[in-house]
Amino acid sequence: MNSVEGLVNQIQGLSTTASDVLSLQNLLKQADDSLHAESTRLLPFLDQLDPSKHSLGYLYFLEACTAGPVTKEQAGSYVLMIARFITSCIAEQIRLAPDKFITVCKRFKDQVLLLEEPLRGVAPMLTAIRKLQSSSEHLTALHPEFLLLCLLSRCYKAGLSILEEDVFEVDQPRDLFLFCYYGGMISIGKKWFRKALELLHNVVTAPMSTVNAIAVEAFKKYILVSLIHHGQSPTNLPKYASSVAQRNLKNLCQPYIELANSYSNGKIADIETYVEANKDKFESDNNLGLVKQAVSSMYKRNIQRLTQTYLTLSLQDIANRVQLNSPKEAEMHVLQMIKDGEIYATINQKDGMVRFLEDPEQYKTCEMIEHIDSSIQRLMTLSKKLNGLDELMSCDPLYLLKAGRERQRFDFDDFDNVPQRFNI
């Protein structure tokens, strides 16, 4: 116990300057095993440390304290303690022990879930992300944990704040898979299907050496959201998707592939029959609600097809052709589609006639010009980043070694000259 008291004194004395903190880091690494051995007795010592001054030392003590099993009663006090630490800790200090900080934050997430209060974890976890990030483009191991809390608490708006940020640096591949998967689910919850498609697309096309459960579940939702947003599902994954994904994902999601095939026929009765026959499967996947939205979207697709053929059509004709029950139901669908900008039309209430119009956007307003200019600037920035990454990779010894081994399988003209300073 005296050694623990001595360590507390050293933490208090070595938390001021950057050089002192580095010395303290070495001491804490050496004392880590001892702290875990004394974990049941460390809690009172936390009262002697100020998380806003002694962040690194407090983190080591806190990680050791929370290492064992936690009861629901203990979780309540730990949640308050960890939330206070996350809010007040010094970012520069906790970044010296990122694994410890990530472990503590993940335990914090587990504890708020144990209390069945995921909303309590949303704000502290977002703060933890900002303190751990080296930049806004850095995807940390805490991003998926934060999005999971947003999902479980239905606090979708908070989740959107980090989904709008560009990502260029990832710690672990699994973090990217979960980040995009949870982000896709949040976007679905907000009915931002275009963003959901982008995120789910990232999951199913990301490099993978073996098929993982995250990619399989993402592909199921990717098919359904494609039907809702585009009215069709992609027949094949793009060429840049891994060969593992191209070979296996379709076979593992066969009911969803068959649903997409039934959808393409445009017959409501057929798809409803198929959904009813496979209801248990969709429900076990927690996708039944999304399947129903896909079925409902077929009415919209059928109405959109009518706009390509007719200039005017009565509500009764629309109801008959789209297989709706009444002209009133057809009117509600048309009005909602006009509101969502999915079609351009006017309804004459006197005779019940619908007149389909052309897209009024002329692409010459100030707002549209600013939007186009912003998109161009963003693409230019992205191009510069990609060129920089390409240059770094072309000089990476590991990449060059692998490229050299693979040369015999290809023509030499397929490769750029290798810099002479690397011996392959």
pLDDT reported for residue 1:
47
Q: Per the domain annotation, does 400 fall within a domain?
A: no
Maximum Cα interatomic distance, the chain, rounded to a whole number of Å = 91
Q: Per the domain annotation, does 368 fall within a domain?
A: no
- Supply the range of the domain harboring residue 321: 312-356
- Tokens linked to 226: 């494609």
The band of 422, judged by pLDDT with boundaries at 50, 70 and 90, is very low
**DSSP bridge pairs for 345:** 356
Question: What integer best gives the mean pLDDT of the chain?
Answer: 89
pLDDT reported for residue 323:
84
Q: Which residue has the tokens 């507390």?
A: 8
The band of 324, judged by pLDDT with boundaries at 50, 70 and 90, is confident
Q: What is the CA radius of gyration of the chain?
A: 28
pLDDT reported for residue 423:
43
Q: Are residues 317 and 294 in the same domain?
A: no
Q: Are residues 123 and 4 in the same domain?
A: yes
Model pLDDT for residues 246-260, shown as the tens digit of each residue:
999 999 999 999 999
Q: Per the domain annotation, does 372 fall within a domain?
A: no
Tell me if the pTM is above 0.95.
Answer: no
Mean pLDDT across the stretch 99-110? Answer: 97
Q: Per the domain annotation, does 402 fall within a domain?
A: no
Q: Per the domain annotation, does 294 fall within a domain?
A: yes
- Tokens linked to 333: 């669908």
Q: Are residues 15 and 96 in the same domain?
A: yes
For the chain, what is the domain count? Answer: 3
Model pLDDT for residues 366-402, shown as the tens digit of each residue:
888 888 899 999 899 889 988 988 888 888 888 888 7
The band of 407, judged by pLDDT with boundaries at 50, 70 and 90, is low
Query: How many other CB atoms are found less than 10 A from the CB of residue 220?
Result: 25
Contact present, 41 and 10 (Cβ < 8 Å) = no
Q: Are residues 220 and 290 in the same domain?
A: yes
Q: Helices in 231-313 by DSSP H: which ranges?
A: 243-252, 254-264, 268-277, 279-284, 288-307
Mean pLDDT across the stretch 187-197? Answer: 94
Min mean pLDDT across 115-119, 146-150, 403-407, 410-414 is at: 410-414
